[in-house]
Chain A
Amino acid sequence: MLEDFYELNPYELDKDAKEKMLTKELLELTELHRQKCEPYGNMLAAQGYEKEKITSYYDLPFYPVRMFKEEELLSIDKEEIFKTMTSSGTTGQKVSKIYLDRDNAMAQQKVLIKILGDYLGKKRLPMLIIDSPEIVKNRQSFTARGAAIIGLRIAASKMTFALNEDMELDLDVVTEFLEKNAGKKFVIFGFTFLVWKHLYQAMKEKGKKLDLSNAYLFTGGGWKKIEAEKVSREEFKECFTKQFGITHFLDHYGMVEQTGCIYAECECGHLHASIYSDIIPRRYEDFSPCEIGEKGILQVVSVLPHSYPGHSLLTEDEGMILGEDDCPCGRKGKYVKIFGRVKNAELRGCSDVYASKF
């Protein structure tokens, strides 16, 4: 039951306690989707799945994330769909479609807020969004980029969009926002490349400095283009500290197929798995789990997907576990490093897809 998880702080379980709780929940979810989603049930049968033999969630079958592009995978009746989310995708790519019923959408929202609250505190903060308001215009169907912003809306006391329809920084809007919130903590949110191009580079070209030292810079969605410009993640942070005085960075890793369960960056610069999800890097040759410090292709499990069979997926990203239960920030669970897409995989990070137009 998801409710059992809500009782806990998102990072309070150590390895053994988390494994026990996740295994039970994910086994139940596997059974639910086996009964409700025929293609998924067929996949389990083809893999010779026997639930009696599963002692840990490490042994559960996983689905390639690409399947959501090829087939309509849902574990609810079509009448129960009330939101469809689509992945980012460059032109010509097929997009993933994720079908949500009410409960699933609410759960995603709840968990996202619980996780973020652990970093930003419980108080709702003003948010400056480095994106255009156009991104949330269509209310029935959201791109992953729009969905992320809508999901954050609840944690904001007020949301201000810093870019206009042409994706240009509106300096008047930003200035007014800063005057209104002088001396207060606030959040700047945007996908990594948009923040880089439309905030940092735009202001640098204008030769203007802004005092954003009270901000948490909350980013996500891919580094490809920025790394291609030969800017490392460390240099990226240095640029923002130099230009705007920003010292609080909160990057995150997440995907539309497991919305809500984000892996957020702590004060030590590590991305953390919460009690709601886990990351298992696997070896290419035989898909066995990697050791700590060994790079592999990432499997992700999450207790949130109920309306579609997305609770155990093989991504197209590479990463490694840096450690477990012992991060100096005090959060329990795994902390990981993400390297990005495996070679020759499609481009699908929110930030990366937008960046591919430049």
Chain B
Amino acid sequence: MNNKEKYINAFVEGLEIDADKVEGLKYQEIPEWDSVGHMSLVASIEDAFDIMMETDDIIDFNSFDKGIELLKKYNVEM
């Protein structure tokens, strides 16, 4: 799996949603991505790339696209 696939897969597993819903998704847009879902999503992203995100980044992470941008900081390029 390349990084983009891993990233999409983290959404699928973390939020328990279908892969076709993932791209372009925003925080709070669907019931699954609420504050509770947010933390399991973060956990699956951290597992997928073996990183630990900073709290500020977890708070700023509010969309599929924003996540891609934030992950650059952790040397995850897509």
CB within 8 Å of B: which residues of A? 82-83, 102, 105-106, 109-110, 113, 117, 122, 124, 136, 139, 150, 153-155, 157-158
Taking the complex as formed, is B52 at the interface, i.e. its CB lies under 8 A from any CB of chain A?
A: yes
CB of A118, distance to nearest CB on chain B (Å):
12
**15 pairs, CB–CB < 8 Å, chain A vs chain B:** A82-B28, A106-B59, A106-B62, A109-B59, A113-B55, A113-B59, A117-B55, A124-B55, A136-B36, A139-B37, A153-B35, A153-B39, A154-B39, A154-B58, A155-B55
Taking the complex as formed, is B50 at the interface, i.e. its CB lies under 8 A from any CB of chain A?
A: no
CB of B38, distance to nearest CB on chain A (Å):
8
Give the distance in Å from the alpha carbon of A124 to the alpha carbon of B35 in the complex. Answer: 17
**Which of A122, A136, A139 is close to B55, meaning CB atoms less than 8 Å apart?**
A122
Closest to B39 in A: A153
Q: Check B59–A110 contact: CB distance below 8 A.
A: yes
Taking the complex as formed, is B5 at the interface, i.e. its CB lies under 8 A from any CB of chain A?
A: no
Taking the complex as formed, is B20 at the interface, i.e. its CB lies under 8 A from any CB of chain A?
A: no
Q: Check A124–B52 contact: CB distance below 8 A.
A: yes
- Inter-chain contacts of B34 with A (CB < 8 A): 139
**Which of B31, B39, B54, B58 is close to A122, meaning CB atoms less than 8 Å apart?**
B54
CB of A224, distance to nearest CB on chain B (Å):
30
Interface residues on B, range: 10 to 19
Given A106-B62, A139-B36; 20 other pairs, CB 8 A cutoff:
A82-B28, A106-B59, A113-B56, A122-B54, A122-B55, A124-B52, A124-B54, A124-B55, A139-B31, A150-B35, A150-B36, A153-B35, A153-B39, A154-B39, A154-B55, A154-B58, A154-B59, A155-B55, A157-B52, A158-B43
Closest to A147 in B: B35
CB within 8 Å of A: which residues of B? 28, 31, 34-37, 39, 43, 52, 54-56, 58-59, 62
CB of B54, distance to nearest CB on chain A (Å):
7
CB of A82, distance to nearest CB on chain B (Å):
6
Give the distance in Å from the alpha carbon of A124 to the alpha carbon of B42 in the complex. Answer: 13
Give the distance in Å from the alpha carbon of A113 to the alpha carbon of B59 in the complex. Answer: 9
- Inter-chain contacts of B62 with A (CB < 8 A): 106
Give the distance in Å from the alpha carbon of A312 to the alpha carbon of B8 in the complex. Answer: 44
Most buried by A among B52, B54, B55, B58: B55
Closest to B62 in A: A106
Q: Check B54–A102 contact: CB distance below 8 A.
A: no
- Inter-chain contacts of B55 with A (CB < 8 A): 113, 117, 122, 124, 154-155
CB of A13, distance to nearest CB on chain B (Å):
21
Closest to B32 in A: A139
| Also in contact, A105 and B35, with CB within 8 A (given A82-B28, A124-B52) | yes
Give the distance in Å from the alpha carbon of A154 to the alpha carbon of B55 in the complex. Answer: 6
Closest to A138 in B: B36
- Inter-chain contacts of A117 with B (CB < 8 A): 55
Give the distance in Å from the alpha carbon of A117 to the alpha carbon of B35 in the complex. Answer: 20
- Inter-chain contacts of B28 with A (CB < 8 A): 82, 102
Most buried by B among A105, A124, A136: A124
Give the distance in Å from the alpha carbon of A122 to the alpha carbon of B58 in the complex. Answer: 13
Give the distance in Å from the alpha carbon of A83 to the alpha carbon of B52 in the complex. Answer: 28
CB of B2, distance to nearest CB on chain A (Å):
27
Closest to A146 in B: B36
- Inter-chain contacts of B52 with A (CB < 8 A): 124, 157
Give the distance in Å from the alpha carbon of A299 to the alpha carbon of B28 in the complex. Answer: 33
Give the distance in Å from the alpha carbon of A158 to the alpha carbon of B47 in the complex. Answer: 12
- Inter-chain contacts of A139 with B (CB < 8 A): 31, 34, 36-37
Give the distance in Å from the alpha carbon of A136 to the alpha carbon of B58 in the complex. Answer: 19
CB of A149, distance to nearest CB on chain B (Å):
10
Give the distance in Å from the alpha carbon of A102 to the alpha carbon of B43 in the complex. Answer: 22
Give the distance in Å from the alpha carbon of A309 to the alpha carbon of B59 in the complex. Answer: 24
Closest to B46 in A: A157
CB-CB nearest 8 A-B residue pairs: A153-B39, A113-B55, A154-B58, A139-B36, A110-B59, A154-B55, A150-B35, A139-B34
- Inter-chain contacts of B58 with A (CB < 8 A): 154
Most buried by A among B31, B36, B54: B36
